[in-house]
A = this chain, B = another copy of it.
């Protein structure tokens, strides 16, 4: 589900567990939750390989007075999961929405789609700011009552611009979304910002990595164009893929037609990836993802 009604409410929690697979993890997790009075609402679990693989589990549970009991539950989980079984876990209160900053350049389709879905309640997140290296989209953003910051990136002065961006973002957001932001972020920026960064690439990766994918798709004569939402790593267009989709095109379509058709896929794919991330449905597994 793109969104989840009741699971955003008070007293609902999410528990993400990952680590080396071994017998009894599901029983331990569900036993701990039952002992603490929580009722499991939904549970997804997978393992990359039953013998010696990696284990992943996402559990949504209901626990009356969760906010009060959160610290104690965390203590128990640290003991039972981390210390006894060597597993990583993440415990999240569903009512605490993630704070997402959007970085954008001039293309408006992905940005407006996110703003509009957030306003409709389709995305379990808040949007404390939009940052752009062009001033063009300021009025659109502010009409949603969301702050817009114009941070130009002068030639040869990307480091200064990133410093300014970091000053705005640092500790203020839980997620950065590149909604067709046409600048490459440095490894230093990614390390410094300290939160996940999701990008939308306008091709079906790994086809047409890099710049100008629609022109190259036209030249190659493909019959489908696509889009890919992925976590950003230092290796451009190589980060873990969250979601992909495609749309059919034909010899009749010009490069401009491919861009227009592709834009519809880009905004859908990005919106899905963001919704899933904010709902803690996406777990990184090396350079791939598990999406529950």
Contacts and interface: CB of A to CB of B under 8 A. Distances in A.
Given A24-B39, A34-B27, A205-B207, A285 B1 contact: no
Nearest to A290: B251
Nearest to A23: B39
Interface residues of A, number: 71
A120 interface: yes
A112 interface: yes
A82 interface: no
A49 B261 CA distance: 20
Contacts of A27: 27, 30-31, 33-34, 40
A67 interface: no
Interface in A235-292: 240-246, 250-254, 256-257, 260-261, 264, 268, 285, 287-291
Contacts of A31: 27, 30-31
A50 interface: yes
Contacts of A33: 27
A189 interface: no
B34 A40 contact: no
A260 B122 contact: yes
Contacts of A34: 23-24, 27
Given A122-B260, A251-B289, A220 B204 contact: no
A167 interface: no
A126 to B, nearest CB: 19
A109 interface: yes
A185 to B, nearest CB: 21
A79 B240 CA distance: 45
Interface stretch (A2-10, A171-179, A191-199): A2-10
B251 A285 contact: yes
17 contacts: A1-B252, A1-B253, A22-B39, A23-B34, A23-B39, A27-B31, A27-B33, A40-B45, A43-B45, A50-B62, A204-B207, A204-B224, A205-B207, A206-B222, A223-B243, A224-B226, A224-B244
